[in-house]
């Protein structure tokens, strides 16, 4: 299973070489990193994605969850609250 994730990361890296500011590719890669437990790399991609689209409620929510896993609770709370400001009642953030 890990090899599929590795392949996914490689493909997304190629995509980002061609188009470095592709927020969707960054978002997909961050999810892959999350699934394999590489939270720091996931945070890097989330931060880059949010530089491109700062109002992306889903990215804020996922970053909030990653911060929570890393026990960075104040950062987590800030991102989750901001996500809810953008998408009020978002079920992903509320869970």
> What digits encode the pLDDT tens for the residues 22-59?
888 888 888 888 888 889 999 999 999 999 999 999 88
| Domain of 77, in residue numbers | 2-94
Domains held by the chain: number: 1
| Structure tokens given for 20 | 């470095």
* CATH number of residue 34's parent domain: 1.25.40.10
* 4 pLDDT higher than 90: no
Q: pTM of the full predicted structure?
A: 0.78
What is the C-alpha to C-alpha distance for residues 84 and 3, in angstroms, rounded to an integer? 35
When pLDDT is cut at 50, 70 and 90, the band that residue 94 belongs to is low
Mean pLDDT of the region 58-81: 93
When pLDDT is cut at 50, 70 and 90, the band that residue 70 belongs to is very high
- Looking at every residue in the chain, the average pLDDT score rounds to 86
Share of residues in the chain with pLDDT > 90 (%): 41
């Amino acid at each position: 299973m890990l090899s599929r994730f590795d392949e996914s990361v490689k493909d997304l890296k190629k995509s980002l070489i061609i188009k470095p500011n592709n927020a969707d590719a960054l978002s997909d890669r961050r999810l892959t990193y999350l699934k394999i437990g590489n939270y720091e790399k996931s945070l890097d991609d989330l931060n880059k994605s949010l530089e491109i689209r700062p109002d992306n409620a889903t990215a804020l929510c996922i970053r909030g969850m990653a911060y929570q896993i890393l026990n960075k609770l104040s950062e987590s709370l800030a991102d989750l609250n901001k996500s809810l400001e953008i998408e009020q009642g978002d079920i992903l953030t509320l869970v």
